[in-house]
Amino acid sequence: MTAEQLQQLITAGLPCEHIEVSGDGRHWSAVIVSSAFEGLRLIARHKRVYDTLGARIQNDEVHALSMKTHTPAEWKAR
């Protein structure tokens, strides 16, 4: 899997105002900005992202994903 493919999977299941993905093919880092995170705690935000990956997490196609998740307002304020 490439960073572009992982980015496409996430954006297909989650409206993203901004997304950056990097990694080595198994271990990934992502910065994700989405209005879908409004009112959600960190763990719920991460679950929303993991839900977009579905079986790819379960079958170890995506072994590890480190995330920084922000709402658009949080992203703008930083």
DSSP 29-66: EEEEE-GGGTT--HHHHHHHHHHHHTHHHHTTSS-EEE
CATH architecture observed for domain 3-77: 2-Layer Sandwich (3.30)
- Residues with Cβ within 8 Å of 39's Cβ and at least 6 positions away in sequence, in order, are none
Kindly report the pTM of this predicted structure: 0.93
Tokens 């930083």 belong to residue: 78
Q: What is the pLDDT of residues 3-45, one digit of tens each?
A: 999 999 999 999 999 999 999 988 999 999 999 999 999 999 9
Q: What is the pLDDT of residues 48-61, one digit of tens each?
A: 999 999 888 888 88
Domain spans of the chain, in order of start: 3-77
